[in-house]
């Protein structure tokens, strides 16, 4: 055999951890993996006992490297993609914040080029169909109820690239919008909502399957009114996003949610803004000024969190070292489950023969040593 061999690592596969394992990459795909006697290869990289895990899949990310995805310049969006790729994210949805529909159409059209090139797995619209009562870092003056024509316009702009849309189920026509999105092949997500449990359930029954950053931007959980948190966390049909920067959520809350939802329904996301990979400073998110101090973004003049500076490698490490989950559980939440949610379970999200060679080598401290995307090392 020829190809590129990664050997001597701790491979995390669907069947378990393979110690002193090897993995052969040919033509961008995993052609074989195992332990013991190694196959011949053109190039051998010694992992020296490091963890080898599938490439991370981030379904909620607004930018990075100083660049936001809301720019209409594809070159700027590529900077954000590259920034997260160097930190292990090999599959990424570009998230857009609430803006008028005509502006979103321009932004979607620009990002569609990167989707068609395979650099992005699609576009996520976080708004404008959100609750002003739970707007977070979204301009409340732009928020509105969904209508059939606006939803159709946004979907048409994507030509299949709009993979997920977050909305508040209590808004007028939201349940119909959920059906419209699902019928078009997009994922309907529930977030930035002040809904009661009774208002959430019709949207789930209509096909909503994701809780956008559970706990954040939602009516709080109450023992007599579960609201969206209780309803979504407890429903087996719903996958829950968790921002595992240990700022948005405490380790105890992350652990409680992940343990209740289980491996099949837990997804870690970054909700990263342009500041990810850059640092403190002043940034613009959808026309609102955001100040990043000590790595934490907040709206200027206030305390409301405005996304994060998180990258998926840090989220992975936080889940294990900060919240007490295992490395295989972290793999499920950062790779396997989000890939399946996007309909990519047959191509990425796990280390197995025939899968795309998307992988991350992590040292004993769970820091990134190297990243491979589609069989090529990421610089």
Residues at the binding site for substrate are 137, 216-217, 224, 248, 305-307
pLDDT digits (tens, 9 = 90+) for 240-250: 999 999 999 99
- Domain limits, the chain: 4-53+350-378, 56-342
pLDDT in tens, 187-208: 999 999 999 999 999 999 999 9
Binding site for Zn(2+), by residue number, is: 126, 192, 213
- Cα-Cα-Cα-Cα dihedral sign, residues 114, 371, 90, 96: negative
* Catalytically annotated residue among 58, 235, 245, 271: 271
Tens of pLDDT, residue by residue over 227-242, are 999 999 999 999 999 9
* Average pLDDT rounded to a whole number, residues 328-332: 98
Q: Per-residue pLDDT tens for 3-21?
A: 999 999 999 999 999 999 9
Cβ-based burial of 1 (10 A; exposed 0-12, middle 13-18, buried ≥19): exposed
What span, in angstroms and rounded, lies between the C-alpha atoms of 81 and 373? Answer: 12
Which CATH architecture group holds 56-342? Answer: Alpha-Beta Barrel (3.20)
Q: In this model, does residue 1 exceed pLDDT 70? A: no
| pLDDT at site 379 | 81
Question: What is the per-residue pLDDT for 66?
Answer: 97
126 contacts 150 by C-beta, under 8 angstroms: no
Helix or strand or coil: residue 63? strand
Active-site residue 271, yes or no? yes
pLDDT cut 90: percent of the chain above it: 97
- Per the listing, tokens 């959808």 go with 286
The model's pLDDT over 211-220, given as tens digits with 9 standing for 90+, comes to 999 999 999 9
Q: What gap in Å lies between CA 333 and CA 84, rounded to an integer?
A: 17
Q: What is the pTM of this model?
A: 0.97
Residue pair 163/342 in contact (Cβ under 8 Å)? The answer is yes
Q: Which residues line the annotated binding site?
A: 126, 137, 192, 213, 216-217, 224, 248, 305-307
DSSP letter (8 states) at residue 193: B
CATH of 4-53+350-378, picked from 2.30.40.10, 2.60.40.10, 2.40.10.120, 1.10.760.10, is: 2.30.40.10
Express each pLDDT in 103-134 by its tens digit: 999 999 999 999 999 999 999 999 999 999 99
Count of beta carbons in the 10 Å neighbourhood of residue 301: 8
Q: pLDDT tens, 120-176?
A: 999 999 999 999 999 999 999 999 999 999 999 999 999 999 999 999 999 999 999
């Amino acid at each position: 055999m020829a190809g590129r061999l990664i050997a001597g690592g701790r491979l995390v596969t669907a069947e378990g951890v393979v110690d002193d394992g090897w993995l052969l990459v040919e033509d961008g795909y995993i052609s074989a993996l195992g332990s013991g006697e190694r196959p011949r290869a053109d190039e051998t990289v010694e992992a020296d006992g490091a963890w080898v895990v599938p490439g991370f899949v981030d379904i909620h990310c607004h930018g990075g490297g100083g660049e936001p995805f809301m720019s209409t310049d594809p070159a700027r969006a590529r900077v954000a993609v590259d920034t997260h790729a160097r930190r292990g994210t090999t599959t990424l949805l570009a998230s857009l914040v609430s803006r008028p529909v005509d502006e979103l159409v321009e932004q979607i059209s620009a990002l569609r080029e990167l989707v068609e090139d395979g650099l992005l797995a699609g576009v996520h619209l976080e708004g404008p169909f959100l609750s002003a009562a739970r707007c977070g870092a979204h301009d409340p003056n732009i928020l509105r109820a969904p209508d059939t024509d606006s939803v159709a316009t946004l979907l048409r702009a994507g030509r299949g690239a709009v993979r997920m849309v977050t909305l508040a189920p209590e808004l007028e026509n939201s349940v119909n919008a959920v059906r419209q999105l699902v019928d078009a092949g997009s994922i309907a997500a529930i977030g930035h909502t002040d809904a009661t449990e009774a208002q959430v359930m019709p949207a789930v029954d209509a096909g909503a399957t994701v809780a956008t950053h559970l706990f954040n931007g939602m009516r709080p959980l109450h023992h007599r009114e579960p609201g969206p948190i209780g309803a979504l966390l407890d429903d087996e049909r719903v996958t829950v996003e968790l921002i595992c920067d240990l700022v948005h959520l405490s380790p105890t809350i992350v652990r409680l949610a992940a343990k209740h939802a289980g491996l099949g329904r837990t997804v870690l996301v970054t909700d990263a803004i342009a500041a990810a990979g850059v640092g403190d400073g002043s940034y613009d998110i959808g026309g609102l000024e955001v100040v990043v101090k000590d790595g934490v973004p907040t709206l200027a003049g206030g305390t409301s969190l405005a996304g994060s500076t998180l990258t998926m490698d840090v989220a992975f490490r936080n889940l294990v070292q900060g919240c007490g989950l295992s490395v295989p559980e972290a793999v499920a939440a950062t790779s396997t489950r989000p890939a399946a949610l996007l309909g990519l379970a047959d191509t990425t999200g796990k280390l197995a023969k025939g899968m795309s060679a998307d992988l991350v080598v992590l040292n004993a401290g769970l820091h990134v040593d190297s990243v491979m995307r589609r069989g090529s090392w990421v610089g």
